[in-house]
């Protein structure tokens, strides 16, 4: 038994050393030659644990993200021996893995159309545009992963690798937008279009491999039956507010009992109706940086799932933007500001995002609310309207 523990410990240290050397410029071939025997049999869990440790020891997430493809290349032999995860209809991972299969088939379809267009047959441009619309499954798939799987894994200490993966997801989203922008031009250059697509396709396929060999085994090894049921309910859209509160251990006041407020009293049901029907998205984060509430309106702008309740807000943002959130919260806590706002374009929509510091009567910081609104129609208003249509 002690020998097994020693061997596992040595393998973990060898994996960490391989990751460090990759980032120092060593090649995959050199490391396989020098460390092949020491890392033989390395599993997805071993690699994820090593990535997590080197991040905790000071290596930036962005640096791990930059070369994570090479991590997989070094350990590929061991990963190929990983057992296949559950793939039973009705299990949340069945949908997840099916989406990956659909993404691969869609990439093959679009690749064929791209090659025909790049070969000079420009009459196929409209068909290529139609085929490419199916690539929107990719960001939808990543939304599910980031909002339903990552938060649960974080509860069990799996943070670093998920942050790295999220960073790569955003790179893929950016590549997809650039490909679609190029495709939308009147006469895109075939060779440029083919090059952009090939880079996008490579990254997406690499991510599928990482999900199948690292993320899914980690989830299968850590999720409880209750975690899987929560994800299943989220996919089915069946998590209502009372259930969300129950699942995350929060007390819900009886709907018939009034809660005294500064200017009146409302029941929990009335408060929920009021917040749910506001024409904005609201998310509340407490003074300990934990997400405690979000509205569930008819048309949410940014995805929110029950899994984020109780999650550290810094883990709710990808590596590319988490520093901005950290800066806002630190300035709120220090009393340097009370409001921060941003505006972005999302397709045809113009989105206004505002953060407000919450302070009690003594001025103590008690948290922050994020308010997000689609102001496209508001920006288009002109003149006056004084009568009801």
- Higher per-residue pLDDT: 389 or 322: 322
* 156 and 103 part of one domain: yes
* 121 and 224 part of one domain: yes
- Higher per-residue pLDDT: 75 or 215: 215
**Rounded average pLDDT over 36-40:** 73
* 16 and 51 part of one domain: yes
User: Per mean pLDDT, which range of 28-42, 147-161, 268-282 is the poorest?
Assistant: 28-42
Calculate the alpha carbon distances from 329 to 281, 318, 332, 383 in Å.
19, 16, 5, 39
The CATH number given to whatever domain includes residue 214 is 1.20.120.520
pLDDT digits 0-9 by tens, 116-165? 988 888 788 888 998 898 899 899 999 989 988 998 988 888 777 778 88
pLDDT digits 0-9 by tens, 69-114? 666 677 676 666 654 545 556 678 877 888 888 898 889 889 998 9
Q: What end-to-end distance do the CA atoms of the chain give, in Å?
A: 79
Identify whether 234 is part of a domain: no
* 370 and 293 part of one domain: yes
* 134 and 38 part of one domain: no
% of the chain exceeding 90 in pLDDT: 26
pTM for this prediction: 0.58
Q: What is the pLDDT of residue 217?
A: 87
Last residue of a domain, one of 80, 111, 135: 80
Q: At what angle do helices 160-183 and 190-210 cross, to 10 degrees?
A: 160
Query: What size, in residues, is the chain?
Result: 389
Band of pLDDT at residue 282, cut at 50, 70 and 90: very high
Identify whether 384 is part of a domain: no
* 105 and 159 part of one domain: yes
- Kindly state the DSSP code that residue 282 receives in the 8-state scheme: E
CA 167 to chain CA centroid, nearest Å: 8
Identify whether 240 is part of a domain: no
* 98 and 209 part of one domain: yes
Report the number of distinct structural domains present in the chain: 3
- Higher per-residue pLDDT: 301 or 389: 301
Identify whether 130 is part of a domain: yes
Cβ neighbours around 215 below 10 Å, total: 24
* 97 and 173 part of one domain: yes
Average pLDDT, whole number, for the chain? 82
The residue segments making up the domain with residue 184 are 92-228
Task: Kindly tell me if the per-residue pLDDT of 60 is higher than 80.
Answer: no
- Please enumerate in sequence order all residues whose Cβ is within 8 A of that of 217, keeping only pairs 6 or more positions apart, or say none: 43, 44, 45, 82, 83, 85
Last residue of a domain, one of 228, 243, 266: 228
Last residue of a domain, one of 228, 254, 286: 228
Q: What is the pLDDT of residue 154?
A: 86
Identify whether 254 is part of a domain: no
Task: Identify the three-state secondary structure at position 370.
Answer: strand
* 306 and 356 part of one domain: yes
**Rounded average pLDDT over 244-269:** 64
| Rounded Cα distance, 49 and 43, in Å | 10
Q: Can you give the three-state secondary structure of 321-365, one letter per residue?
A: CHHHHHHHHHHHHCCCCCEEEEEEEECCEEEEEEEEEEECCCCCE
Task: Identify the three-state secondary structure at position 261.
Answer: strand
Calculate the alpha carbon distances from 363 to 184, 291, 293, 325, 366 in Å.
52, 21, 22, 21, 9
Q: What is the pLDDT of residue 176?
A: 95
| Rounded Cα distance, 307 and 310, in Å | 8
* 68 and 19 part of one domain: yes
């Amino acid at each position: 038994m002690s020998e097994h523990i020693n061997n596992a410990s040595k393998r973990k240290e060898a994996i960490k050393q391989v990751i460090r050397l990759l980032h120092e410029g060593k090649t995959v071939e050199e490391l396989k030659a020098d460390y092949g025997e020491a890392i033989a049999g390395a599993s997805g869990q071993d690699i994820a644990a090593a990535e997590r440790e080197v991040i905790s020891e000071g290596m930036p997430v962005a640096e791990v993200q930059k070369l994570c493809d090479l991590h997989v290349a070094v350990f590929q032999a061991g990963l190929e021996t990983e057992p296949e995860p559950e793939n039973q209809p009705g299990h949340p991972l069945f949908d997840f893995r099916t989406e990956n299969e659909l993404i691969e088939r869609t990439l093959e379809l679009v690749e064929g159309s791209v090659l025909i267009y790049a070969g000079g047959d420009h009459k196929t441009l409209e068909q290529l545009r139609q085929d490419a619309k199916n690539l929107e499954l990719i960001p939808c798939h990543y939304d599910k992963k980031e909002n339903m799987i990552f938060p649960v894994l974080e509860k069990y200490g799996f943070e670093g690798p998920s942050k790295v993966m999220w960073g790569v997801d955003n790179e893929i989203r950016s590549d997809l937008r650039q490909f679609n922008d190029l495709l939308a031009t009147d006469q895109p250059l075939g060779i440029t279009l083919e090059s952009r697509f090939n880079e996008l396709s490579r990254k997406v396929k690499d991510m599928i491999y990482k999900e199948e060999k690292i993320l899914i085994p980690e989830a299968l090894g850590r999720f409880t039956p209750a975690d899987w049921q929560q994800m299943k309910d989220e996919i089915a859209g069946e998590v209502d507010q009372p259930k969300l509160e129950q699942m995350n251990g929060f007390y819900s006041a009886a709907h018939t009992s009034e809660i005294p407020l500064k200017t009146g009293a409302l029941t929990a049901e009335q408060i929920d109706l009021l917040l749910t029907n506001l024409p904005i998205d609201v998310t509340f984060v407490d003074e300990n940086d934990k997400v405690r509430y979000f509205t569930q309106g008819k048309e949410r702008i940014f995805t929110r799932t029950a899994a984020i309740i109780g999650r550290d807000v810094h883990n709710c943002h990808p590596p590319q933007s988490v520093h901005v959130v950290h800066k806002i919260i630190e300035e709120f806590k220090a009393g340097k500001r009370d409001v921060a706002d941003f505006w972005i374009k999302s397709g045809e929509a113009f989105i206004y995002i505002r953060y407000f510091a919450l302070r009690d009567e003594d001025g103590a910081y008690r948290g922050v609310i994020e308010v997000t609104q689609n102001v496209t129609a508001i920006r288009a208003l002109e003149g006056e309207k004084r009568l009801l249509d």
